[in-house]
Amino acid sequence: MTRIEEEKVEHLLGILAIVSILIAWVAGSNLSQKDVLPYFKKAWPQAGRFEQPGNGIYTVYADKTSQNIIGYATIGEANGYGGPMKVVVATDLTGNIAGLAIVEQKETPSFLDRVSDSDFIKSFVGKDYRDSFQLDKDVDGISGATYTSRGIAEAALRGSRRIAELQLKLPLPNQPPAKIQFGFPEITLVGLYLVGFVGHRQRFRFKKQVRWVSMLAGLIILGFIYTRPLTISDINKLLLGFWPQWQTNLYWYLLIGGILFVFTADNKNPYCEWFCPFGAAQECMGALGGAKPRLSGRYKRTLTWLQRGLAWLAVLLAVLLRNPGLTSYEIFGTLFDLKGTTLQFALLGIILITSLFIRRPWCSYLCPLRPVTDLYRTFRNWIEELWLTIRKKQSVS
């Protein structure tokens, strides 16, 4: 098969992959709603029964037969790390929270596990609807799951105030506008983009040295300190339209928006080769062992298609099940947070050891992000060629 024929096959498979993902997206959006009543009972186990009068707020009775009302319950909604989150919020007759239960979430399993293994949900019991529910002020946040815990807190706030306003007819406190969070992670990210812009210039003499500085900054700051690498979950959130509130998630918009902008304008990947934390970790190991691209063409091609197949499946299932983080199989958190399953630690060990001899084995043969960027580059180049062809015909005519 010639190179031109291979490119045609790749283009066809790329189109089929996109079409299948679009079909999965439509199918996932039409999945039936789950029964929420069991989650109301989970939020308030002592309640006898729940009755909905039709306004989305359930009346909570003491037992199955009496008319003794002990409180109200509704569903509060907010955005977590992975997307929309629904939480049952139950309050007593004074507006104090009696219980919470997560109905629907799109979180990465490891993030949700950190919340589930803590007393975070229980800490809301007794909170007043007038509280601000701010992390580390009214409630203690969960380290390593900040966005998940913030989403639960926001859903609890909205649910309790909805009951207070619509059912209990209580006055609500003034809600201050969301503050724009622009801190050291965001500053670092902008700085890394600027370093990459300078380093990518053809006549720049110190490209190798600057690239190493950029990679080490990404490894230390975005990896070990903040654990904020780009993952397939971020791509899935973009595709599903689960875009978080920009004021409190500016880092996500800078990361995704910056990559798309540079890729579109300059056809260069500003992330993977310049400041990906896990890529930098592999290159550090490779510098110690003298790693080189050692696989032959046949094995390399097989692993490349395996990598593409895994990435396609991860995106397909994520959009079908409407859960961006459910199919994430990266082991970044295992390295940077030292948390994970036995299998994840074993895979991490294999990757790091292999990195001593083979350059970036995870990036080259397993990472789901590379097939996504390759597909984006393929269609970008195809559109550019088509545009140039049209412009050329117009100039001739």
**230 domain residue, yes or no:** yes
56 and 159 inside one domain: yes
pLDDT digits (tens, 9 = 90+) for 186-222: 999 999 999 988 888 878 889 999 999 999 999 999 9
Claim to verify: residue 267 and residue 301 sit in the same structural domain: yes
Does residue 172 lie within any of the structural domains?
no
pTM for the complete prediction? 0.84
Alpha helices of 200-271 — where are they, by DSSP H?
A: 207-217, 232-240, 250-266
- Which domain-ending residue is among 166, 192, 225? 166
- Write the burial class of residue 271 (CB in 10 Å: 0-12 exposed, 13-18 middle, 19+ buried): buried
Number of compact structural domains in the chain:
2
Same domain for 188 and 103: no
358-367 tens-digit pLDDT: 999 999 999 9
pLDDT at 54 over 70: no
| pLDDT, greater one: 144 or 172 | 172
pLDDT for 181-196, tens place per residue? 899 999 999 999 999 8
Residue that is last in its domain, among 138, 166, 194: 166
- Residues 72-84: what's their mean pLDDT? 89
Q: Is 90 inside a domain boundary?
A: yes
Residues 109 and 195 both lie in one domain: no
Q: What is the pLDDT of residue 34?
A: 66
Mean pLDDT of 157-170: 93
N-to-C CA span, the chain? 37
Residues 20 and 44 in one domain: no
If asked whether residues 280 and 328 sit together in one domain, one would say yes
Structural domain boundaries, residue 143: 37-166
Contacts of 311 (CB under 8 A, 6+ apart): 232, 368, 369, 370, 371, 372
pLDDT at residue 1, rounded to an integer: 61
**Final residue belonging to a domain, choices 166, 195, 210:** 166
Closest by Cα among 178, 187, 201 to 254: 187
Q: Return the higher-pLDDT residue of 232 and 34.
A: 232
The pLDDT of 312-340, averaged and rounded, is 90
